[in-house]
Amino acid sequence: MSTSERRSLAELRVLLVGVGGVGAPCALALVEAGVRHLRLADDDEVERGNLHRQILFSEADVGRPKLEATRDALLRRRSDLVIDLRPGRALPDNALELVRDVDVVVDACDNFPTRFLLADAAAIAKVPIVHAAAIRWFGTVLAAKAEGGPCYRCLFEDLPEGPAPDCATGGIVGPVVGVVGALAAEMAISAGLRDGRLTGHVATFDGRRDELRLVEVARRASCPLCGPHRSIFTLDEARYLGAICTA
């Protein structure tokens, strides 16, 4: 990596929403790559059941806010980090403030309402965003450009009807979230530096077969967020019905 690339990485400002199974390895990979400026958002506490996959935490962190435990773990690795903690959930009334003044957003939350909310907020603020998710043996990472589509709504359209499986109900394999977190960090660096290599693509990882695929996503002509007849310009709370949380 050249001196100019290292300087750019050191200046990159990343918002990471959710510092759990995917977010913890993502944060670690970003810091080890040279990113110094992190804004972290989460509202959860460390539980003993998290420890097998949320690699920044130990037994001593059980009961602590994840944000504080994440900050301390990262600072033990690099003391020159600039970490901005944003306790609480990503909600329609604060999402635009969360994504303001950053170069890229990483969505590492665990529910669809928050994912769609962050996708919309990033598009309105013209900030690239990386959506990372994992359940059971499978993971996906999608990177969307600052200028628009293809975006999260091109791929998933809208909130699913009825309950959707999450880590608590569907289970999760620890190493899978590690792979997904690392992929999210790689895509976030690419998107944040605007090198165009990975935006507009979705990476899928199958942990059972140890298979990784990178596929280009097509922009959906009827997409209300990035299509030619765009209709989403504000964060209307009614659009995100369901539990809004971060990690």
Sequence ranges of the domains in the chain: 3-240
For residue 61, give the nearest of 49, 69, 73 by alpha carbon: 69
As a whole number of angstroms, the longest Cα–Cα distance in the chain is 52
Query: CA torsion angle for 40, 42, 44, 48 (degrees, to 10)?
Result: -40
CA distance 6 to 34: 7
pTM of the model: 0.89
CA distance 123 to 140: 20
pLDDT tens profile 137-187: 899 999 999 877 799 999 888 887 655 555 555 567 778 999 999 999 999
What is the pLDDT of the chain when averaged over all its residues? 88
CA distance 235 to 9: 31
Both tokens assigned to 85: 């903690």
CA distance 11 to 108: 22
The mean pLDDT values, 10 residues at a time, for the chain of 247 residues are 60 96 95 96 90 86 94 95 96 95 95 94 96 92 88 87 58 83 95 86 91 90 92 93 50
Domain 3-240 part of CATH 3.40.640.10: no
Question: Which secondary structure element, helix H or strand E, spans residue 94, and what is its range?
Answer: none
